[in-house]
Structure 1
Amino acid sequence: MNEELTKLIYDNEKLIYSFMKDYNKYIDKEDLYQVGVIGLINAYKNYKEEKGVKFSTYAYLYIQGEIKKYIRENRTFKINKDVNVLCNQIKKAKNILEQKLMKEPSIKDLAEFLELTESQIEFALGIQQPVKSAEKPIMNDGKEVTLYDVISSNENVSNIDIICLKEELSKLNSHDKRILQERYYNGRTQSEVANILGISQVKVSREEKKVLQKLRNNMVA
Structure 2
Amino acid sequence: MELLIAYARNPSLELRNRLVERNLGLVRQVAHRISRQCSEPYEDLEQIGYLGLIRAIERFDPQQGCAFSSFAIPYIRGEMLHYLRDKGSVMRIPRRWQELHNKAKKIRKQLTVSLKRPPTDQEIANALEVPLKEWNECQLALQNRLLVSLDATISQNVDCSISFGDTLPDQDYQAKQKLEEDRLQLQRALGQLEEKTKAAIECVFLNELPRKEAAKQIGISPMTVTRHLKKGIQQLGSLLETQVA
| TM > 0.5 | no
TM-score, normalization: structure 2? Answer: 0.36
Which structure dedicates a bigger proportion of its chain to helix?
Answer: 2
In terms of Rg, which structure is larger?
2
TM-score, normalization: structure 1? Answer: 0.39
